[in-house]
Amino acid sequence: MKKIEVNAATCIACGACYQIAPHAFQPNESGISVPVKELVESVDELTIEAMESCPVAAITIEDVEDAE
């Protein structure tokens, strides 16, 4: 499993991530990005591109163990 997180304190609401990967990121009511799903089986190239395009590096994707 992969965990997608957006640091709300760091995010500047530029919108790059949800323009690149709208299936993975969306704006909240303040325009701050949030993941559509926090836990996913895998991440695709657009999600990785969105993370790498974040001008303030607010997005992280990390491996997590499956909860049983």
pLDDT at position 31 = 93
Q: What is the CATH number of the domain that holds 42?
A: 3.30.70.20
d(CA 28, CA 2): 21
User: Given this model, what pLDDT does residue 29 score?
Assistant: 95
Q: In this model, does residue 66 exceed pLDDT 70?
A: no
Residue 67 has pLDDT above 90, yes or no: no
Strands (E), the chain: 2-6, 25-27, 33-35, 39-40, 59-63
Q: How many domains does the chain have?
A: 1
Total-model pTM: 0.90
Query: Model confidence over 1-56: pLDDT tens digits?
Result: 999 999 999 999 999 999 999 999 999 999 999 999 999 999 999 999 999 999 99
Is residue 68 domain-resident? no
Category of 31 on φ-ψ map: left (φ > 0), alpha (ψ -120 to 50) or beta: left
